[in-house]
Structures are given as C-alpha cells and as structure tokens.
A = this chain, B = another copy of it.
Amino acid sequence: MTEPLKLGVAGLGTVGAGLVRLLETHGSRLSALSRPIRIVAVSARSRSKNRGFDTDQFRWFDDPVRLAADPEIDVFVELIGGDEGPAREAVETALRGGKHVVTANKALLAKHGIALAALAEDNGVALNFEAAVAGGIPVIKALREALLPNSITRVYGILNGTCNYILTTMQEEGRSFEEVLKEAQERGYAEADPTFDIGGFDTAHKLSLLTSLAFGTKVAFEQVHVEGIEKISQADIEAADDLGYRIKLLGVAMRTPSGIEARVHPAMVPKHSAIAEVSGVTNCVAIDGDFTGNMLLVGPGAGAHPTAAAVASDIIDLARGLVLAPFIIPSGELKPHQRARLGEHQGAYYLRLSVVDAPGSMAVVAKRMGDAGVSLESVVQRRERHALPGTSKADPTTPAQITLITHETTENAIREALAALESDDRVTEPPQMIRIEKL
C-alpha cells in the first residue's frame, strides 16, 4: 500500500473544521487518486469546543509550532491567521523541517511571502496558498499553471465579498452606505471594525500576491495604491446606473511603461459585462494574456466550505507529487516591484460635483476641465432642487449636481482639474472622482 500523505492541521475555526468535514466526505475518493490523505494531528486554541467532529481521532497539540515540528507529518496546514506570531513561527518551523506548507493566510504572505518562498525552495518543499486569494476560485493554479503560456498584461478583480455585498445592496435596494454597512455587520458579513475590508486593505493583500504571480515581481503590498468604498454615496450609484455603469471595488495590477500599476479603488465597469453581474459576496478575477486573451473566473470568495476546498486542492497537488516554486520562478529571480507613477495612469473618469445653481456654473466647470486638458464625453446636470422649508417652492440655494464622464486622460490632468474646481467658490462640496476601468 502507498504511504499516506500525513497532514497536521493548525487552526480549527470555520475553515479548519470545513477541511475536516471535507476529508470525512471525500477523503476516500481523493485518497484513491494517488495516495491516501490523512489528518494525523491538529492544533487549536480550545480542545473542548464542539466542532461537530471528534478531535480525539487526531493527535492534539496545544502549540501549533510544536505541531509544525512534529516528525510524523508531511504537510503542515496553517489556518491560524495573522501576519506574525504563531502562524509565522509555525510556518517557518515546518518549512525548515522539510515539510510542505498549505496556507490560507494572505496577510502572512503579503508581508513575508518572499522570505517564506525562499525558505520553501531551500528545503525543497511546497508553499501552496490557493485559499489565500479569492477563496474557492482556483486563480493561483490558473496563474501558476494554466495561463503560463501568456505574458500577462493585467490581472484584476473583485476580491472582497464584504465590499461587493455592500455595493450590490446599495445598488439593488437604493440604500445608503452607512445603513447597508450596519446591516452587514448585524448579519456577520462585515466585522465590527470594518476598516480592513471596506478600506480596501484586504483586497490589497490579495492583489499583491496576484501581482507577483502575474508579473514575476517580489510581493510588494506597501506599493499598492489603496482607496476604500467609504465615500461611495447613493448619488454615485444612481449616476453610474444612469450612465450605464456599476461601481465595484476592484484590485487592478497592470504593466505600464513606467512600471507596475497596482491599485485598489472603487471603479466603474460597464453595466452589460459579466463582471458587473458579479453580485453579493461572490468574487471574480480577470486575467488578460497575450495569447489566451481575456479570462474571467467567478466564484465564492470566502466561506468555510469553498475555502476548505481550495486548501484541499493544494493538498491533492502534493499527494500527486506536484511541487512548484511558490511564485512560479525561484524567489531569488523575482524582480523588484517597480511602481508605476499613478499620475500617469491613463483612463476615463467619472466626476460628481455640487455647484451653486446659478448661471455660469456649468461654464466654470467646463473651463476648469478644458484648462487641465481634459475633454468630456458626457455631462449631466440635475435640475432637481429641494423645497424651501414649509413651502413647495424650490430652494434656489440647493446646489446643482453635475456628473461628468471624461474621455481617456491622465490621472495628473484630472487631479489638476479637481484642484482647480475645489478652490472655486461655486463648488460647494469636495468633488467625487471614480475611475472607469476599461474591460
């Protein structure tokens, strides 16, 4: 009989417990494909917690680092989380001990991915992390294997389910950001402190890993330009709809003449596109290659079962003997991430301005744009005014809303125009700017 592949699983939260259930359900079928796959030892904070299965069937370790050092295991599965502390220490211990590592820990990889990859390569073992990006979507396999024949020009996607849920719900139900966020927190779709998700940082972690795989560069989370969705208002959602767009929080990495543009920000995508229909907590990743063309992968970006399935797929690869360099090429050969100047970003822009509703306001706006060298594709001025209190008469002091879509221009030109507009007395609120992503 073939020697089994012996797993040590650290962390029995939702994903860890999901992996145990998955192997209970499908373990014998998967074991028959190449060699038996068996969890032999586990580690978690509480041994007594009811998880729906008996932890006594596995050897127990209170300390994940001791589990990582256990000579009996072939693969250390890290589902603890956190970019330092026991997760990092245990992963390093496992790799140094010549054990393969499978992890779902994007924060750890965004911070220490290259050092850990080097450690894995030095010890001739794998560092697999399919579950770390876009949950159940096999995007790491796509980049490491299936799409290798391409020179990749851009990789981008909806990588955070919380943000996509909030934006989709605002769109579908016409409700405010604050209201939808509060509801998402009550339902457990958003954290009590939602900054990490809605501020775009979770997306940036994932994007930094995709960037490295797509462009052969060192992971450089700190080089990602990050904006969140906090400032997206119902007025923007509605204006986008009128203009034929949907607003999504995208992570985008692309090659440009001045380097790699890696950015996370709300973006408009055409309403009639598959990516616009990626709704709720679903994620997607698009990959543009010179030979394959444009690929889009859509699926569950989180959740115990999809994430456990991604972890299991990494384990199956190891059972089949497939050990690849974590970032495709040896970590020492990865190039430094040369950051593109965002000011040179080329694209179309949406702007929403509140202006004093008086003759000449539109002319001022048009002039400011023209002075900055920005030409306009469409301009909509909304004429609705609020009523004066206690009357049905329009209040002449209500600002008018102007929404603009520019032709393709540069970020520098837009910033120049915005600075000029902000300093103008006729503009009553800080202007809103949203980039339009060309699909």
CA distance A145 to B128 in the complex (A): 14
Contact of A278 among B25, B274, B303 (CB under 8 A): B274
Check if A293 sits within 8 Å of B277, measured CB to CB: no
Check if A300 sits within 8 Å of B293, measured CB to CB: yes
CA distance A22 to B147 in the complex (A): 12
Check if A295 sits within 8 Å of B136, measured CB to CB: yes
Check if B274 sits within 8 Å of A298, measured CB to CB: yes
**With contact pairs A22-B149, A30-B149 given, residues A299 and B294 touching in the complex (Cβ less than 8 Å):** yes
CA distance A293 to B303 in the complex (A): 10
Residues on the B chain within 8 Å of A32, using CB: 329
What is the interface residue range for chain A against chain B?
35 or more
Check if A294 sits within 8 Å of B289, measured CB to CB: no
Q: Shortest Cβ distance from A36 into chain B, in angstroms?
A: 15
Check if A145 sits within 8 Å of B272, measured CB to CB: no
- The interface stretch among A87-95, A118-126, A253-261, A310-318 is A310-318
Residues on the B chain within 8 Å of A328, using CB: 33
Contact of A147 among B33, B278, B313 (CB under 8 A): B313
Check if A292 sits within 8 Å of B320, measured CB to CB: no
Contact of A293 among B26, B284, B299, B322 (CB under 8 A): B299
CA distance A259 to B25 in the complex (A): 21
A366 part of interface (Cβ distance < 8 Å)? no
Q: Shortest Cβ distance from A362 into chain B, in angstroms?
A: 34
Query: What 8 A-B pairs have minimum CB-CB distances, sorted nearest first?
Result: A138-B146, A149-B312, A291-B309, A274-B274, A296-B298, A295-B299, A136-B292, A149-B309
